[in-house]
Amino acid sequence: MYSTVMNRLQDRRDAAADLGEDAGFTLIELMVVLLILAILLAIAIPTFLGVTGGANDRAAQSNLNTALTTAKSAETQNGQSYNVAGGGSTILSYSTLASNEPSITFTNVAVTGAGPVSAIVSTDGNGIILASFSKSTNTCWYAVDNIAPTANAANGAYTGALVGGLPGVGAGVGSPTQAPTNQGDFYGKQTGGTCTAAAVPTAATWGATFSAA
């Protein structure tokens, strides 16, 4: 469309030059071209930002899945527990996790950019919460892995005891103030706010996949 308008304007200018008239564009012609450019930019910029935001979200999710796989591997090597022996609620060790996956920085504080993953472990060693941040969309993605029901897991986002209930039904499936305590893997997200594993999303819908979050 834009190229067609420019070609027609160029043809008019060439014809005017052949007749000895001044070669140039009128103000109306220039305004039409500028209007077309503005319309194209109005369409292209939001599309570009949307693609960029989606790509950053996918990168944050991929980073979170890699961190979760790394943590599960370390948990298996640690005798089916996320706790260091005699280490209370300390995650295996951030240095151990980092040595297994050097591309990721594990921390127990809030994360504000792409790359680092916030992590915290339940007091009984049965569960871990991980959080990864997507800056362009200001979205925090969460993953929870409970190798067993996390009873009396009052650490960080595990704010209450498991009260029973089947996976996906009743107590233990998580809420806006509590991470899921049932056995299994759960995912959630939060747009805005602080991205930390020590606090669950303020309005979470925990699910089995990212698309369900």
146 - beta bridge partners?
Answer: 127, 184
Q: With a cut of 70, say whether residue 209 has pLDDT above it.
A: no
Helix, strand, or coil (residue 106): strand
SS3 15: helix
- 38 sits in the region (left: phi over 0; alpha: psi -120 to 50; else beta) called alpha
149 contacts 183 by C-beta, under 8 angstroms: yes
H-only helix segments in the chain: 2-18, 27-77, 94-100
Per-residue pLDDT, 148: 86
Beta bridge partners of residue 144, listed in sequence order:
129, 186
The mean pLDDT value of the chain amounts to 74
**Please, which pLDDT band fits residue 113 given cuts at 50, 70 and 90?**
confident
139-146 sheet: strands from edge to edge: 106-107, 117-121, 127-134, 139-146, 184-191
Domain borders along the chain are 48-212
pTM: 0.68
Q: Which of 194, 192, 193, 188 lies closest to 175 in space, CA to CA?
A: 188
Reported as a pLDDT band with limits 50, 70 and 90, residue 122 is confident
Task: For 16-47, write each residue's pLDDT tens digit.
Answer: 555 545 556 677 878 888 888 888 777 766 66
- Which of 21-25, 70-74, 103-107, 133-137 shows the lowest mean pLDDT across its residues? 21-25
Residues in the chain: 213
